[in-house]
Amino acid sequence: MNLPLKDNEVSAVARADEMTQIYGALVALRKGDASAKLPHHGSAAFSRVAEVFNDLVVSNLATQRLINSAPFIKANAAGFAGVAAGSGRWVHFLSGSHGSLLDPTASLAVTAEMQNHAVTLALTGGAAFQITPAGSALLEP
């Protein structure tokens, strides 16, 4: 005989469903699925997570569209990556936060590498940036 669920059991089932949705969306995003989104309905906490997640997906998609629309070349090896006129270079960090050259909260190593890219690009007059040996380990191959 099936008995009705108690309130705390219903809440636990709802939380488990929300966690499954978050996990599925994260896996899809990691695989590069541009349609990875979370619904805005659910608990208040889930709705806040969905809003931030969906905003990040849109931001990443805009960056990817920019990369795809121009003759950019991926850079990932230690040394100087030349930037020719009319083309560009890009890097894909495997971790950290890429929204600030000044905030090392997510990853000090990634922030330091991004700062190095910015400084060497400026020092070469925009002709190249340096990827450090330690920095190349932070980049997608």
**Which residues, in sequence order, are CB contacts of 61 under 8 Å at separation 6+?**
34
- What does the alpha-carbon distance between residue 138 and residue 118 come to, in Å, rounded to a whole number? 16
Do the beta carbons of residue 20 and residue 38 sit within 8 Å?
Answer: no
pLDDT of residue 10: 46
Strand ranges for 42-127 from DSSP E: 72-74, 79-82, 88-90
pLDDT (tens digit, 9 = 90+) per residue, 78-110? 999 998 777 788 888 888 777 788 888 888 999
Q: What's the pLDDT band for 3 if we cut at 50, 70, 90?
A: low
CA distance 125 to 83: 10
Residue 119 has pLDDT above 60, yes or no: yes
pLDDT at position 4:
55
Domain spans of the chain? 7-67, 70-136
